[in-house]
Structure 1
């Protein structure tokens, strides 16, 4: 529990809620610069797609985990997914992954929950999950250069810019000393 939220991994049978939250994220005004898919693409997906996506985040084994921030009325305030990337594989930019690392993706908190404890709790949980994996020495994420609010949040959480890739800043987690 963190503040008014319980941060937990999604469950396989929660695919309708996972779908609803993702569609809400893709309706957000910053969605075009924050996510790799559009509302229309996601909305067109079959129930089977959403079931499989949710199962991967729920049972993801050592390579994937989706967390949600569950509010006091069991409503979902937000979500984050963490992917473990293995050396020798290609990342989403097509670059070769050089070390075992974690990639934080699909960060979203509903507008009415922003500015509180949901987003920091989700990010702390995601980073903790990632760093608990043997050999993971790096946690990164990408934020669009025009998404100043998100970048400020990530900086406050311990992430620092490492490089610019297209219009996205790669940011790496560096815990406070």
Structure 2
């Protein structure tokens, strides 16, 4: 692989926006993301500027990592959120230890199966460990078997925590965790 794996820079918000919109058009997007294409495409540029700046290189609480192909195209991304003990997460659950939370995982369809997702995950997990995380977690839809298989392959295990989806009564997501060695 000749991809560059790196953190985004604050001025790269147009590329962040384009990659996110591509992710939201993916057929599995309804199982993978809590946001829809229709919601994201109408957001003003200021939203994308702020979102990118929060997760840009050098940030301490959020890091957006991208995979850049040799031709300059962005072909994959993952974002790491650091969650502090004593706070609550996006679903209202208490955070008991410092942890990294992987969100926004996306690899363009033509790059899937190349090992790129493994490399993105390695970079994201290493960033979380370097920032003092005791564990890394992610949340995956109960029906997203492809993602669950990948997460298990790279060492994540179900914790038993189920997160109900208010926008889809009767459906839930599962927490997968990776403990620090």
Q: TM-score, normalised by structure 1?
A: 0.94
Which residue in the other structure is 1:117 paired with? 115
Structure 1 residue ranges, 4+ long, deviating more than 4 angstroms after superposition: none
Which residues of structure 2 form unaligned runs of 5+? Answer: 165-171
User: Partner of 1:58: helix, strand, or coil?
Assistant: coil
Q: Counterparts of 2:63 and 2:43 in 1: how far apart (Å)?
A: 21
Aligned to 1:42: 40
Give RMSD over aligned pairs: 1.3
In 1, Cα distance between equivalents of 2:179 and 2:85? 21
Q: 2:13 aligns with which of 12, 15, 20?
A: 15
In 1: Cα distance, 2:147 partner to 2:57 partner: 28
Structure 2 residue corresponding to 1:30, chosen from 20, 23, 28:
28
Structure 1 CA distance for aligned equivalents of residues 93 and 144 of structure 2: 23
* 1:97-151 Cα distance to aligned partner (Å, 9 max, x none): 11111100000000000001211110110000001112x1110001111111111
What is residue 144 of structure 1 aligned with on the other side?
Answer: 141
Superposed, which structure 2 residues align to 1:74-93 within 5 Å? 74-93=72-91
Corresponding residue of 2:127:
129
Q: How many residues align?
A: 173
